[in-house]
Amino acid sequence: MRWTSYLKLLVVIVVAVFPILLVTSSIALINTSPTSSASTLRELAARLGIHIGSAVSYSALTSDAQYAHILGQQFSAITPENEMKWVSVEAQQGVYDFAQADAEVQFAQHQHQLVRGHNLVWFEQLPTWLTGGTFTKAQLAAILQQHIATEVGHFRGDIWQWDVVNEPFNDDGTLRNTLWLNALGSDYIADALRWAHQADPNAKLFLNDYNIEGIGAKSDAMYALVKGLLAQHVPIDGVGFETHLDLQFGLPPMIKENLQRFAALGLDVDITEMDVRMSLPATSDDLTAQANVYAQLMQDCIAVPRCVDFTVWEYTDAYSWVPNAFAGEGAADIYDNNLAPKPAYDALIQALQEPVAPQVHGH
């Protein structure tokens, strides 16, 4: 072959191979690109089979466009913060108003998000007609059944997971002395689950509580309760671990092991209301420590296949419940007061991007 023929062949090869090189190198670029606007929490979590959620406040959703935008962009699940609670939906006996909750469900559907229904049976945020009324035990049972049937029926098909009973325990592991326990005995929990299941057989049904994240008296009591319910074939699909943490108390002991023992019963184990509060004003060391706590919890969730949802209780300090509930504390969320991501946001991205012990999630 003459020199010019070699040259022509070379040109042909280069022209043929160049596009392939271009495509493969841009794929490499996508795969290796570090945290960037291209990687949202929901995209990274989806790769691991985990939903990442936030509580949503109706007033913020309807008055703050930037809040709504970030909520849709970063999260793949929402939990109405107050709008599905008894006082919100049935402020007057037998008169239901689902308008705000409906608007949130619509937003979620538009953003391809799942909805956690929160909650059906609780001792707080009850209407005064209920707490101040005089009812017989039979009447209270009928009121509870009616409320569950109506609310779950209204949202039938739209709710991924219902917190059917919220916060049933005291910290020492005894059942909390509520209106419901008083009137109906401990059976109110199984009954509520059965009634919810009748109204929407496809919704996943949860018990939800705080201070059950680590192993201790309260989580032992929850464990014994759900084991008993399963043995009686009561419909229950999961346990919600609220995870309202405070920097001053540190991490509860053995969180991963605790999640694993519940998962071993065949239940989903979700982080349902996470925030990490601190004394104000927050220092940059505090924010770093907070970021580590969020990352640790995400790592624990990633390590347990039945942890399918990781929800924060509001994603931004701008709308957090903490300053109202805990005097002198705040800065508990992953975005700051101006809706800018905090170190805790970066830590979650990092934990999702480089999981230590990734497992296949779901079941």
Question: Can 273 be counted among the known catalytic residues?
Answer: yes
Q: How open is the CA angle 161-340-294, to the nearest 5 degrees?
A: 50
Q: How open is the CA angle 42-47-51, to the nearest 5 degrees?
A: 45
* Among 151, 213, 242, 317, interactor with ligand XIL by CB under 6 A: 242
Whose Cβ is closer to ligand XIL: residue 193's or residue 302's?
193
Q: Rounded to the nearest whole angstrom, what is the least distance from the CB of residue 242 to ligand XIL in the complex?
A: 6
Place of tokens 């991501």: 341
Whose Cβ is closer to ligand XIL: residue 117's or residue 305's?
117
DSSP 8-class letter at 300? H
Given a contact cutoff of 8 angstroms between Cβ atoms, the answer to whether 239 and 208 are in contact is yes
Task: Count CB atoms within 10 A of the CB of residue 319.
Answer: 21
Exactly one of 104, 213, 273, 329 is catalytic; name it.
Answer: 273
Distance, CA of 264 to CA of 17 (rounded, Å): 52
Whose Cβ is closer to ligand XIL: residue 101's or residue 302's?
101
* 170 touching ligand XIL, by CB under 6 A: no
Whose Cβ is closer to ligand XIL: residue 81's or residue 286's?
81
Q: Rounded to the nearest whole angstrom, what is the least distance from the CB of residue 283 to ligand XIL in the complex?
A: 25
Strand partners, 77: 53, 114
* 162 touching ligand XIL, by CB under 6 A: no
Whose Cβ is closer to ligand XIL: residue 81's or residue 90's?
81
Write out the two tokens for 236: 């229950």
Distance, CA of 241 to CA of 215 (rounded, Å): 12
**What is the contact mask toward ligand XIL in residues 247 to 276, using x (rule: CB under 6 A)?**
--------------------------x---
Nearest residue by C-beta to ligand XIL?
A: 321
* Among 45, 51, 81, 108, interactor with ligand XIL by CB under 6 A: 81
Whose Cβ is closer to ligand XIL: residue 86's or residue 321's?
321
Exactly one of 104, 151, 167, 329 is catalytic; name it.
Answer: 167
Strands (E), 113-157: 114-121
DSSP, residue by residue, 160-223: SEEEEEE--B-TTSSBP--HHHHHHTTHHHHHHHHHHHHH-TTSEEEEEESS-SSSSHHHHHHH
In whole angstroms, how far apart are CA 130 and each of 176, 194, 254?
18, 22, 39
Q: If you compute the radius of gyration of the chain from its CA atoms, what whole number of angstroms results? A: 24
Q: Rounded to the nearest whole angstrom, what is the least distance from the CB of residue 87 to ligand XIL in the complex?
A: 10
* Among 88, 100, 166, 299, interactor with ligand XIL by CB under 6 A: 166
* 321 touching ligand XIL, by CB under 6 A: yes
**What is the contact mask toward ligand XIL in residues 108 to 147, using x (rule: CB under 6 A)?**
----------------------------------------
Helices and strands of the chain, counted as H and E runs: 15, 10
Q: Rounded to the nearest whole angstrom, what is the least distance from the CB of residue 344 to ligand XIL in the complex?
A: 18
The β-bridge relationship of strands 204-209 and 309-312 is: unpaired
Q: Rounded to the nearest whole angstrom, what is the least distance from the CB of residue 100 to ligand XIL in the complex?
A: 13
User: SS3 of 94, please?
Assistant: coil
* Among 39, 82, 145, 260, interactor with ligand XIL by CB under 6 A: 82
Whose Cβ is closer to ligand XIL: residue 120's or residue 302's?
120
What's the one-letter identity of residue 231? A
Residue numbers of the site for ligand XIL (CB under 6 A)?
A: 81-82, 166, 242, 273, 321
Q: Which residues are catalytic?
A: 167, 273
